[in-house]
Chains A and B, each alone.
Chain A
């Protein structure tokens, strides 16, 4: 199987769709000549031209809103919001417009729009370029939310997002872009709502998303050295969520840790914990442990930043807390 970086995998999904389908185009800030602030769309201008790889003004509401309009006409735009912090600027169009047209029109309209964005801590950008806000969008009926963690998943899920007839907020993590992974020779679409068991185990299930998936895998290895068998599950899409796979796993392991880089309070881990207690209450041998960032705007100095956001060590500590409880 060939290897791609996460960044190349995103580009491959975009380019493959654009080669096959005139209705797919990309737009966003600095995505053309510059190739995007993360280099994801590098080379695409040369292949597809400025009509289909469109630089936009710094106008997040119009970027998303224009995408909605084109999507309403049956095109399949992929818009890029440079940092997920800037989703705040497009919130009205996402929440009141993209998510609601279908219901408000009584089923007359579809909005097949993909909103790609990225972010994450680990490089000291300060408080306005590193938030993780995926949980906000899981609260909005009408949106779908994806947050893949591997090259294979990001490629297959982005394809599915582009061909989904609903608006999809598609999260990528900055620190995942350079990571390499094997991908199938041919692009294989990955359906939404299907979790992936990243590692099988029997003592505790760690449900991790985004950057916390590789962190959880590292924690699992360290736990194994201490005789604890950890299952790592990546839901891959948060909305829809593969509740069945989550419940099945926890029914097997009887313990659960959730892990995301976003702040713990009100984070997606809370929803996961609710799903677990609802579907596996009688199986649980310990309270669900939640791992996430401490509740603070992200401070600039590297020492503070690293302390605020979670790492493998935090996941390992949570794993140990759950197994320390008597069955």
Chain B
């Protein structure tokens, strides 16, 4: 690849198409994430969940599509909005819900909470509550794969707000300079908490920021799980072949507030309604698969049962001893 002139690709070349059967599985995963997030909202409002929480309603196709395009040994690092990524990477809903309840059975054993989900054995290297904070660690993890000649990628998830941090630029520059096998997945939902894109960046096309480092960038419709999957396959192949990292500029929509309970005074209510009607990735995939009401209801009953069971599991979990707080300060 030319060292300085990278181009943005609007349409990734076709990866192997997903079968309808596989797409149905992805639909089920997306629905599971949706029902999980709705349950989290409900339990938070009921006063059962400590801390503060961010749900990814509207962004399910990004998590599901990227993870469908990865191989088992690939790893991810996520953001404060991490439940969907973690579920899609394969962590059991029980372990995530138990973490939100602060239980030892949680995926971070009660030490992390919603914004610090970890499941290292499953390739989830941590959700980061400092915007942009995980990015150089993704570069470094990918550097270790390069050192060891392992055909793996490490994936960074981050939002448009993160592209304004200094560490974003340092991390992408270094990743491209050293051609490490990393994927930088921008979940471009147009909001940095309550601040709209036009108030926090002077450009509209954030892929330019990756292209400026000579990095390959692919634009993706984040409400279309097939497109996300195809772009991820393409990007992964590029990265593991030694050609360097890829930036995925994924346009998506946050159909809810920044955090649970966010009154969204900064946002037009009609706009949200409109997006929910036209940009809901689950509705879009349902239409694409022509799922009947019966089929939908059957899937919904199944995933809702899983989510309900995760709450039961979490509530029955073990509270840590207060003194356990000192257990993992040092290895």
- Interface residue ranges, A against B (CB under 8 Å): 22, 25, 51, 54, 56-57, 59, 61-62, 64-75, 77, 92-93, 96-97, 101-112, 141-142, 144, 165-166
> 17 A-B contacts, Cβ less than 8 Å apart?
A59-B173, A61-B166, A61-B167, A61-B171, A62-B167, A69-B144, A97-B128, A97-B130, A101-B126, A103-B111, A106-B106, A106-B109, A106-B111, A106-B118, A107-B109, A109-B126, A112-B331
List B residues at the A interface (Cβ < 8 Å). Answer: 106, 108-112, 116, 118-121, 125-126, 128, 130, 133-145, 147-148, 154, 166-167, 170-171, 173-174, 177-178, 327-331
With known contacts A51-B147, A66-B140, A97-B133, A105–B111 Cβ distance under 8 A = yes
Looking at the assembled complex, report how far the CB atom of A197 sits from the nearest CB atom of chain B, in whole angstroms. 26
Please indicate the chain A residues that have their CB under 8 angstroms from the CB of B135 in the complex: 65
Give Cα A112–Cα B140 distance, bound, in whole angstroms: 13
Output the least CB separation between A80 and chain B (Å). 15
A68 near B137: Cβ-Cβ < 8 Å: yes
* Closest residue on chain A to residue B136 by CB atoms: A65
Residues of B contacting A108 in the complex (Cβ-Cβ under 8 angstroms): 108, 118-121
Contact A102 B330 (CB under 8 A): yes
Chain B residues with Cβ under 8 A from A69's Cβ?
Answer: 136-144, 154
CA distance A220 to B143 in the complex (A): 49
Min CB distance A100 to B, Å, is: 8
Question: Contact at B145–A73, with CB atoms within 8 Å?
Answer: yes
A97–B138 Cα distance when bound, in Å, is 12
Q: Contact: A56 with B137, CB < 8 Å?
A: no
CB distance from A54 to the nearest CB of B (A): 8
Across-interface contacts of B134 in A (CB, < 8 A): 97
Cβ–Cβ < 8 Å partners of A105 in chain B: 108, 111-112, 116, 118, 120, 126, 328
Within the complex, the shortest CB–CB distance from A73 to chain B, in Å, comes to 4
Contact across chains for B331 and A165 when beta carbons are under 8 A apart: yes
Flag if B147 contacts A70 (CB, 8 Å): yes
Verify B141–A70 contact, CB threshold 8 A: yes
Contact A102 B328 (CB under 8 A): yes
* CB-nearest residue of chain A to B182: A69
Q: How far is the CB of A115 from chain B (nearest CB, A)?
A: 13
Q: B125 and A72: CB pair below 8 A?
A: yes
Question: CA A54 – CA B177 in complex, angstroms?
Answer: 12
